[in-house]
Amino acid sequence: MLLKAVLLNEPLPGSSRPLNLPDIQFILRHPHIYLSDENLAGKISVEGLPKPLRIMSQEDLQEASSTEGDVAYLHFRPPHEAEGAIRLTLEGKLVTQDPNQHPMGLSSIQVKFRKVGDRWETEGDAAALAS
């Protein structure tokens, strides 16, 4: 839900405001939308994206940067659970052509979800963070 809302500029269940990741245009400048496979619980499929989604390992992202130049991608941090709610953070990152340089952080968005009946809804406002 979080990935779809960010990529399509849509609100999440429980919110009326679309999510805005400040560096999204930087992420969308590539022919694909790159997503790190780290911290994913399973397969991800998002309908209606403006570009194909490519889920890649950190090694594959580094390799892509050797031919494409700097590669901006999305990455989920590990989820944090507390008091019946789950906090998810989706961040933009940048891997450079230099294999000795660690990926650099771009902006990120953090959302807290709580189960309401049989579905997950946001609790409070999403927080945009800068690295």
Pick the closest to residue 44 from 2, 12, 83 (CA basis): 2
Over residues 112-125, the mean pLDDT reads: 89
pLDDT tens-digit series, residues 22-44: 899 989 999 999 999 999 988 88
Per the structure, how many domains does the chain have? Answer: 1
65-96 in b/e burial notation, b at 16+ Cβ within 10 A?
Answer: beeeeebbbbbbeeeeeeeeeeebbbbbbbbb
- pTM for this prediction: 0.91
Average pLDDT in the chain:
91
49 vs 3: CA distance, rounded Å: 10
33 vs 25: CA distance, rounded Å: 11
Provide the domain limits for residue 61: 2-129
